[in-house]
């Protein structure tokens, strides 16, 4: 039986993993935060697909993605003592920013979410479900975040797929 | 025993009760609400017909739950109840979206909504509801069902519930309208009385939790050398796990370099325990078993010769009573639950130390007890635990309450 798990917001990732563990042979997880499944111990056997608009960059990533960062590093590694000091300082700053990243991730997971019934069938989740179903028919959608239920039900009604909440 | 669902087949004195508890094992939280499970099992063993509804918390973003979500839940519940509500062995799980930062009242209101949805498709009959927790559960269920209500309170966070004015008022309403209101310890009753007044105390009766010793045999320990410590419980800060591990390190250093500590349970402090033990050279002396099924607990207790449980606050505290039942001395702190449950027999069963005791003081006290174990009467400890907390005794008390409430 091919099952697709929907869990946009991952506060119930432990429930999702516990539920899926016996059914790994044909399961896909659709989520907006795949990092919640990084240390599941199921890497390699669980297919996790990221769905939703790409989240804003985290503060530390925003810093390292910039072109100036690469320029500074290139200059700092030119061999001078000042360069070594500068690189160390930047790395220390990044280390601290990672704490800020964690707070930002937590805040994002608890941000209010509204659902517009008119856009359910054009949502990223619906589109991704359609792609998965087109590739290999889905037998059951299992919803772990009830905010995904409207999309799952709409898709289930449109394509004759069973929907469960667990 | 199996469930009796057809009222025609039930003998006249069989009570049909619906338990409602947010704490109950599910496929992910297999140890959640074991004390509720024990009550269900004891009542079923006594021949009563018990079903269970479990409002299952689905954390949601702050703010009201969008209409699209509630409508989808209603549609699925109406179309395919088994898809919406997982169920097995007389237990039904009810998805309950609870907004973040909703507070205790918001949590209760969320539970009321989900229980109302469940009610719409529930065709089974029962004579009374036994709700676990005054808030949110009893309040939520009271607003959706009109059968007699029995409430059991055993939450360690009751103080925070009663500190929220709206939740405290709702709690008072539950207490007034419930057919019977039970606390598992005097401490919880005192907390309620402190907030709601003396009238509340008159409505509350004490029925303890069940301590199940079926798989925990009493072992007569010929020699107590206190070298094999055991702890049973969550690896969480509020259970005093850090104090325990620091105390153990002190004991190894000052009194017994060969001592070992086995921690039975799991939790967020697991990594901390591993790092601390390794940094103190105790990597081989501290064992972490993870969570184990209750049936396997007896084997871990059998291998130990002292249980050390340094939780600063407990509403009841089952693990130390299981340690006493297994015939080992127990060392704990004078928290409300311990004082209430085994304070009067502590002299026979181990040690209860002041709440502000530090690692050195506790380690020294254990070493002192090792030097004079003759004062212990561990067989008497087991007898007392059975006499007060066995499934038969507690189920008997509950049945008396049910029959009184049903008139």
Other C-beta atoms within 10 Å of A157: how many? 12
Contacts of B291 (CB under 8 A, 6+ apart): B30, B31, B264, B265, B266
| Predicted confidence band of residue B312 (pLDDT cuts 50, 70, 90) | very high
Give the mean pLDDT of B118-140: 93
Decide if B61 and A150 are in contact by the 8 Å CB cutoff.
no
The token pair that represents B33 in the structure block: 């609400």
Beta bridge partners of B58: B97
**Bigger pLDDT: B164 or B123?**
B164
What DSSP designation does B130 have?
A: E
Give me B41's structure tokens.
Answer: 């099992």
Q: Please answer whether residues A32 and A49 qualify as being in contact, where contact means their C-beta atoms are separated by less than 8 angstroms.
A: no
**The pLDDT value given to residue B5:** 47
Q: Kindly report the CA angle at A147 between A144 and A150, in degrees rounded to 5?
A: 105
Within 24-83 of B, beta carbons closer than 8 Å to A belong to: 26-28, 58-63, 65-66, 68-69, 71-73, 75-76, 80, 83
Tell me what the mean pLDDT of segment B285-296 comes to: 93
pLDDT, average across residues A41-54:
77
Instruction: Evaluate if residue A154 carries a pLDDT over 50.
Output: yes
Q: pLDDT confidence of B2, banded at 50, 70, 90?
A: very low
Q: How confident is the model at residue B3 (pLDDT cuts 50, 70, 90)?
A: very low
DSSP β-bridge partners for residue A164 = A142
Q: What is the pLDDT of residue B125?
A: 85
A6-27 mean pLDDT: 89
Contacts of B80 in chain A (CB under 8 A): 162-163
Question: Given an 8 Å threshold on Cβ–Cβ distance, is A14 in contact with B28?
Answer: yes
Does position A54 have pLDDT exceeding 70, yes or no? no
In this structure, are residues B310 and B333 in contact, taking their beta carbons and an 8 Å threshold? yes
At residue A111, the pLDDT reads: 63
Q: What one-character-per-residue DSSP string does A15-60 give?
A: HHHHHHGGGGGGEEEEES-GGGGTTSS-TTTSEEEE-SSPPPPPHH
The per-residue pLDDT for B29 is: 86
Count H helices and E strands in chain B, helices first.
Answer: 18, 14
Name the A residues in 119-138 with CB < 8 Å from any B CB. Answer: 120
Provide the pLDDT for residue B119: 92
Written as one string, the DSSP assignment of B177-241 is H-SEEEESSHHHHHHHHHHH-HHHHHHEEE-PPP---TT------S-----EEEEES---GGGTH
Dist. CA B279–CA A95, nearest whole Å: 24
The confidence band for B341, taking pLDDT boundaries of 50, 70 and 90, is very high
**pLDDT tens by residue, B352-389:** 999 999 999 999 999 999 998 888 999 999 999 999 99
Contact by Cβ (8 Å): A151, A125: yes
Contact A113 B75 (CB under 8 A): no
pLDDT at A112 over 70: no
Which of B36, B97, B87 has its CA nearest to residue B62? Answer: B97
Count of beta carbons in the 10 Å neighbourhood of residue B120: 11
Neighbours of B9 (CB within 10 A): 9
Residue A67 contacts B, CB cutoff 8 Å:
no
- Average pLDDT over chain B reads 93
Q: How many helices (H) and strands (E) does chain A have?
A: 6, 5
Residue A14 and residue A42: Cα distance in Å, rounded?
12
Q: What are B265-287's pLDDT values in tens digits?
A: 998 899 999 999 999 999 999 99
Which range has highest mean pLDDT (A41-50, A104-113, B315-324)? B315-324
Partners of A166 on chain B (C-beta within 8 Å) are 27, 86
Range of weakest confidence among A117-121, B134-138, B256-260, B325-329: A117-121
pLDDT bucket at A110, cuts 50 / 70 / 90: low
Going across the sheet that includes B204-206, the strands are: B87-88, B91-99, B49-60, B16-20, B128-132, B149-153, B180-183, B204-206
Proportion of chain B in helix, strand, coil states, percent, rounded to 5: 50, 20, 35
CB of A86 within 8 Å of any CB in chain B? no
Q: Assess A74–B contact: CB distance below 8 Å, yes or no.
A: no
Q: In this predicted structure, what is the pLDDT of residue B303?
A: 94
Query: Residues 16-45, chain A: which have Cβ within 8 Å of B?
Result: 17-19
Cα separation, A40 vs A11, in Å, equals 14
Per-residue confidence (pLDDT) for residue B82, from 0 to 100? 96
* pLDDT of residue B17 exceeding 90: yes
For the segment B33-41, the average pLDDT, to the nearest whole number, is 94
Is the pLDDT reported for residue B39 higher than 60?
yes
Longest alpha-carbon distance in chain B: 69
Contact present, B304 and B226 (Cβ < 8 Å): no
Using an 8 Å CB-CB cutoff, list chain B residues near A15.
26-28
Q: What is the pTM of this model?
A: 0.83
Q: The tokens of B52 are what?
A: 């269970």
Question: Where does the pLDDT of residue A78 fall: very low under 50, low under 70, confident under 90, or very high at 90 and above?
Answer: confident
The two structure tokens encoding residue B125: 């009959």
Q: State the count of interchain CB pairs (< 8 A) between A and B.
A: 73
- Residue with more model confidence, B233 or A43: B233
Q: Do A165 and B61 touch (CB under 8 A)?
A: no
Is B4 a residue whose pLDDT tops 60?
no
Chain B residues touching residue A120 (CB < 8 angstroms): 68
Residue from B31, B76, B77, B266 whose CB has the most chain A CBs within 10 Å, to mutate: B76
The per-residue pLDDT for A144 is 97
Please say if the pLDDT value at position A159 is more than 90: yes
Q: Under an 8 A CB cutoff, do B28 and A18 touch?
A: yes
Chain B positions in Cβ-Cβ contact with residue A117 (cut-off 8 Å): 68
Mean pLDDT, all residues of chain A: 85
**How many CB atoms sit inside 10 A of residue A81's CB?**
7
Tell me how close the Cα of A120 comes to any Cα of chain B, in angstroms.
10
**Complex ipTM tops 0.90:** no
What torsion do the CA atoms of B307, B308, B311, B315 make, to the nearest 10 degrees? 30
Q: Give pLDDT, residue A109.
A: 64
Nearest residue to A57 via CA among A105, A92, A9: A105
Low-confidence winner among A35-39, B2-6, B190-194 (lowest mean pLDDT): B2-6
A147–B contact, CB cutoff 8 A: yes
Would you say residue B351 has pLDDT above 60? yes
Question: Quick check: A5 contacting B, CB < 8 Å?
Answer: no
Q: Is the pLDDT of residue A105 over 80?
A: no
SS3 state of residue A129: helix
B86 min Cα distance to partner chain A (Å):
7
Distance from CA of A13 to the nearest CA of B (A): 10
Average pLDDT over residues B249-253: 98
Q: Is the pLDDT of residue A90 over 60?
A: yes
Q: Examine the pLDDT at B69 and tell me if it is beyond 90.
A: yes
Q: Which residue has the higher pLDDT, B145 or B319?
A: B319
Report the pLDDT value the prediction gives residue A97, as an integer from 0 to 100: 83
């Amino acid at each position: 039986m091919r099952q697709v798990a929907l869990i946009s917001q991952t506060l119930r990732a432990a429930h999702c993993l516990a539920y899926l563990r016996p059914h790994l042979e044909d399961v896909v997880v659709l989520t907006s935060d795949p990092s919640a499944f990084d240390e599941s111990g199921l890497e390699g056997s669980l297919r996790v697909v990221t769905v939703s608009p790409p989240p804003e960059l985290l503060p530390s990533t925003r810093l390292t993605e910039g072109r100036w960062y690469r320029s500074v590093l290139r200059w700092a590694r030119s061999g001078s003592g000042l360069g070594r000091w500068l690189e160390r300082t930047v790395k220390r700053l990044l280390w601290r920013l990672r704490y800020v990243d964690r707070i930002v991730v937590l805040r994002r997971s608890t941000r209010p979410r509204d659902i517009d019934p008119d856009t359910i069938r054009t949502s990223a989740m619906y589109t991704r479900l359609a792609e998965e179903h087109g590739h290999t028919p889905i037998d059951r959608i299992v919803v772990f975040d009830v905010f995904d239920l409207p999309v799952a039900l709409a898709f289930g009604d449109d394509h004759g797929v069973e929907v469960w909440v667990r | 025993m199996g469930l009796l669902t057809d009222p025609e087949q039930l003998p006249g004195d069989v009570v049909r009760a619906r338990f409602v508890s947010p704490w109950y094992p599910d496929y992910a939280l297999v140890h959640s609400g074991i004390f509720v499970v024990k009550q269900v099992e004891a009542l079923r063993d006594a021949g009563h017909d018990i079903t269970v509804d479990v409002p299952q918390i689905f954390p949601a973003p702050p703010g009201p739950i969008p209409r699209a979500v509630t409508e989808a839940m209603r549609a699925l519940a109406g179309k395919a109840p088994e898809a919406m509500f997982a169920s097995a062995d007389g237990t039904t799980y009810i998805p309950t979206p609870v907004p973040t930062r909703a507070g205790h009242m918001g949590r209760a209101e969320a539970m009321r909504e989900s229980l109302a949805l469940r009610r719409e498709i529930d065709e089974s009959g029962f004579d009374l509801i036994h709700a676990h927790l005054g808030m949110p559960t009893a309040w939520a269920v009271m607003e959706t069902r009109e059968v007699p209500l029995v409430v059991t309170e055993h939450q360690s966070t009751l103080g925070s519930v009663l500190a929220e004015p709206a939740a405290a008022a709702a709690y008072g309403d539950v207490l007034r309208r419930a057919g019977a209101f039970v606390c598992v310890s005097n401490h919880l009753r005192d907390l309620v009385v402190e907030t709601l007044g003396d009238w509340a105390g008159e409505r509350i009766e004490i029925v303890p939790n069940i301590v199940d010793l079926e798989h925990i045999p009493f072992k007569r320990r010929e020699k107590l050398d206190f070298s094999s410590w055991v702890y049973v419980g969550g690896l969480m800060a509020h259970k005093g796990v850090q104090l325990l591990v620091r105390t153990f390190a002190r004991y190894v250093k000052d009194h017994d370099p060969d001592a070992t500590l086995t921690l039975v349970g799991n939790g967020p402090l697991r990594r901390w325990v591993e790092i601390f033990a390794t940094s103190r050279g105790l990597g081989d002396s501290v064992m972490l078993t993870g969570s184990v099924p209750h049936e396997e607990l007896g084997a871990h207790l059998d291998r130990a010769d002292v249980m050390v449980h340094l939780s600063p606050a407990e509403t009841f505290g089952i693990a130390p009573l299981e340690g006493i039942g297994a015939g080992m001395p127990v060392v704990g702190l004078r928290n409300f639950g311990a004082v209430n449950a085994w304070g009067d027999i502590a002299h026979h069963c181990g040690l209860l130390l002041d709440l502000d005791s530090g690692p050195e003081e506790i380690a020294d006290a254990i070493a002192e007890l090792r030097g004079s174990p003759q004062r212990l009467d561990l067989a008497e400890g087991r007898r007392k635990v059975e006499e007060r907390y066995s499934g038969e005794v507690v189920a008997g008390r509950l049945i008396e309450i049910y029959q009184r409430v049903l008139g």
